[in-house]
């Protein structure tokens, strides 16, 4: 479905090159939404300066060469030289009809598919997922879904923290509790926070335990089979737990997507070797370091990326470098998107810089840190429990579902629901509310976690959008036909019909932008504007009681395209849409 803005941009560029020569074929036509028409081309103003002519004359000259027959019904030059463009009703209707008849709503699959790693969620083994992981999980999943839909080859990658020194004490603590405690699902093991803290306390207070733990780390890194087996027991307990959260959230990650830090263990030494061979890694203060250009400390001294510590151990950065190398050399990735908290920004900038020095990243292989902002409590500080602890994700979601139940029972329903159906819907509403609220703010911005605001059927919320979709479905049920039985033809007479159709035509361009910048909030905002335009349409244009059959058929078709745009858009955000509400 061509976005009107893109269609007109191309036409204005044609006019520019016809009027002023082929060198203007790529000039930005500066197309903007306008108060006075659908769109405005403002290129005449900057161009006039360049050409030393009056902007109005330049605008007239462009219009003289502008071929927009069939797309635009009215062209006006106004003010100092704005070109106002009013799209033709028939063109809009025709494009909406095309969307209706196309399984992809007229959104073409990309002509330049890329192999993209979307790395997201990445919780730590033997630790509870907290609200920080909520965002990396939800936002990452939406990015993966959007790129998938656009036709890219998406590799979902859950870079779990499953390696490193803490595993010595965790394994020893497991042995102390008895391995069968894990098999039984005993809470001393399955309550990950308590398990981790108990191990930590012993490590800090018991010299003998600390000694055993340190020896255990060495055995783990040396690949001792019995130690690896025990390590696996811990990993499995955590995986089960991650999957329960992913199931609750409706996230597309599976065990097959896990490539934890441990996966890269054998690749660390060769990665370091390559960096040494290329002269990038040098010894400094006993540690092996790389100094990427442009990174300096307070005194202007070059900042190191430590690649091998002075005790010979590798670290977080080494693993990330080995990961990039693997993705490039073995997976042949074109683009890597790291959906990780904003505080790790400097780490990624420096790691990417070293990877560019090594030639792993270059103009053809791109890495983006899709930064994630903090989630705040209503007091404006990082969200914590009343006792000051980290908020557990699962508890947060349970509370959301419970509140959704209360709000759901307060609104009007077309029909009564049995308990099981009600429970399913309320689950979708509670989880959908949290997800939509998270996705509707720019991912690098902080936001306040406020369940009351999220779970409202009014405003820019998940429940409002779910309800909008359910209402359209209910029209079809009352009309006695399925949404895909609406065939149009779409004609536009009422301004609210036209405004809705125009809004629907923007879907493809929004997806393209959201995928390009890895910013799902663009899609979240768009879906809301569609529902908004639909509400105005619904208030002004009776559908089942339309004045005549042709109008009814057209309006039902508009309802069908709206419904599919809403459900597809929300699905790509990972927000479920219940059939009935």
Task: Tell which residue, 1, 6, 8, 3, has the closest CA to residue 71.
Answer: 8
Indicate if the alpha-carbon torsion angle 566, 568, 574, 579 is positive or negative.
positive
User: Per rule CB under 6 A, is residue 87 in the interface with ligand ARG?
Assistant: no
Residue 320 CB, shortest distance to ligand ARG, in Å, is 5
> Closer to ligand ARG at the Cβ: 119 or 519?
119
- Which of 84, 97, 122, 461 lies at the binding interface for ligand ARG (CB under 6 A)? 122
Q: Is 159 in the site for ligand ARG (CB under 6 A)?
A: yes
Tell me if 546 sits within 8 A of 555, measured CB to CB: yes
Q: How far is the CB of 297 from ligand ARG (least distance, A)?
A: 22
Residue 390 · residue 384 · CB < 8 Å = yes
Q: 190 φ, ψ to 5°?
A: -75, -25
Identify any residues that bridge with 367 across adjacent strands, giving them in sequence order. 336
CA–CA gap between residue 494 and residue 410 (Å, rounded): 34
Query: Judged by CB under 6 A, does residue 271 bind ligand ARG?
Result: no
Structural contact between residues 92 and 492, judged by C-beta atoms closer than 8 angstroms: yes
Q: Which of 84, 97, 124, 562 binds ligand ARG (CB under 6 A)?
A: 124
Stretch near ligand ARG under the rule CB under 6 A, chosen from 115-123, 379-387, 389-397, 478-486: 115-123
Q: Are 375 and 341 in contact (CB under 8 A)?
A: no
Could you tell me which stretch among 120-128, 236-244, 535-543, 555-563 binds ligand ARG (CB under 6 A)?
Answer: 120-128
Q: Provide, rounded to whole angstroms, the least separation between the CB of residue 228 and ligand ARG.
A: 20
Q: Are 156 and 253 in contact (CB under 8 A)?
A: yes
Helical ranges in 113-258 per DSSP H:
131-149, 166-177, 179-183, 187-190, 192-205, 207-221, 225-249
Q: Give the contact letters, 330-369, x = binds to ligand ARG (CB under 6 A), - = no.
A: --------x-x-----------------------------
Q: Does residue 39 sit in helix, strand or coil?
A: strand
**Alpha-carbon span 439 to 250, nearest angstrom:** 14
CB of 86: closest distance to ligand ARG in angstroms? 49
> CB of residue 444 vs ligand ARG: minimum separation in angstroms?
16
Nearest-approach distance from CB 123 to ligand ARG, in angstroms: 6
* Residue closer to ligand ARG (CB basis): 159 or 522: 159
CA distances from 206 to 127, 168, 195, 210, 319 (A): 22, 14, 16, 6, 31
Task: Give me the least distance between CB of 202 and ligand ARG, in Å please.
Answer: 23
Number of residues that bind ligand ARG (CB under 6 A): 9
| 343 token code pair | 């505080």
Nearest alpha carbon to residue 439 among 149, 143, 152: 143
Please list every residue from 308 through 327 that binds ligand ARG, using CB under 6 A: 320
Least distance (Å) between residue 354 CB and ligand ARG: 14
Where does this chain bind ligand ARG (CB under 6 A)?
119, 122-124, 159, 161, 320, 338, 340
């Amino acid at each position: 479905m061509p976005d009107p803005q893109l269609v007109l941009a191309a036409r204005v560029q044609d006019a520019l090159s016809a009027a002023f020569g082929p060198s203007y074929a790529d000039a930005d036509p500066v197309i903007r939404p306008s108060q006075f028409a659908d769109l405005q081309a403002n290129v005449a103003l900057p161009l006039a300066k360049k050409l030393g002519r009056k902007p109005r004359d330049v605008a007239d000259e462009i219009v003289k060469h502008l071929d927009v027959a069939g797309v635009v019904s009215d062209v006006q030059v106004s003010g100092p030289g704005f070109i106002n463009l009013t799209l033709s009703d028939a063109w809009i209707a025709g494009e909406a009809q095309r969307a209706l008849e196309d399984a992809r709503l007229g959104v073409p699959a990309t002509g330049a598919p890329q192999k993209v790693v979307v790395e997201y969620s990445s919780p730590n083994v033997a630790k509870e997922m907290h609200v920080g992981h909520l965002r990396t999980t939800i936002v990452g999943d939406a990015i993966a879904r959007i790129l998938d839909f656009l036709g890219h080859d998406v590799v979902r990658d859950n870079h779990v923290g499953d390696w490193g020194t803490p595993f010595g004490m965790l394994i020893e603590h497991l042995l102390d509790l008895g391995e069968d405690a894990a098999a039984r699902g005993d809470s001393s093991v399955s309550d990950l926070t308590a398990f981790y803290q108990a191990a930590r306390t012993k490590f800090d207070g018991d010299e003998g335990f600390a000694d055993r733990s340190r020896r255990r780390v060495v055995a783990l890194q040396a690949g001792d089979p019995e130690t690896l087996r025990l390590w696996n027991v811990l990993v499995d307990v955590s995986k089960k737990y991650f999957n329960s959260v992913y199931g609750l959230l409706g996230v597309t990650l599976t065990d097959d997507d896990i490539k934890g830090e441990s996966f890269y263990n054998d690749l660390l030494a060769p990665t370091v070797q390559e960096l040494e061979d290329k002269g990038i890694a040098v010894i400094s203060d006993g540690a092996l370091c790389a100094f990427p250009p442009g990174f300096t400390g307070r005194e202007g001294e070059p900042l190191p990326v430590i690649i091998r510590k002075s005790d010979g151990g590798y670290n977080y950065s080494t693993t990330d470098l080995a990961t990039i190398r693997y993705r490039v050399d073995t997976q042949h990735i074109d683009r890597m998107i790291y959906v990780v908290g904003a505080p790790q920004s400097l780490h990624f900038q420096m790691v990417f810089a070293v990877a560019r020095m090594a030639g792993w990243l270059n103009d053809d292989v791109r890495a983006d840190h899709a930064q994630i902002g903090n989630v705040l409590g209503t007091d404006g500080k990082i969200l914590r429990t009343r006792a000051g602890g980290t908020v557990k994700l699962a508890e947060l979601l349970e509370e959301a579902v419970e509140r959704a139940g209360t709000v759901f029972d307060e609104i009007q329903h077309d029909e009564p629901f049995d308990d099981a159906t009600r429970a399913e819907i309320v689950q979708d509403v509670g989880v959908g509310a949290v997800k939509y609220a998270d996705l509707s703010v720019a991912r690098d911005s902080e936001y306040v976690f406020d369940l009351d605001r999220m779970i409202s059927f009014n405003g820019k919320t998940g429940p409002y959008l779910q309800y909008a979709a359910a209402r359209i479905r209910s029209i079809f049920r009352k009309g006695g036909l399925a949404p895909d039985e609406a065939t149009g033809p779409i004609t536009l007479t009422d301004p609210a019909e036209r405004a809705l159709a125009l809004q629907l035509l923007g879907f493809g361009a929004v997806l393209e932008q959201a995928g390009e910048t890895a910013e799902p909030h663009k899609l979240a905002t768009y879906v809301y504007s569609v529902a908004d335009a639909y509400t105005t349409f619904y208030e002004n244009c009776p559908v089942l009681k339309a004045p005549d059959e042709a109008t009814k058929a057209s309006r039902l078709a508009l309802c069908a395209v709206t419904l599919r745009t809403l459900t597809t858009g929300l699905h790509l955000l990972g927000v479920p849409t219940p059939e009935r509400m």
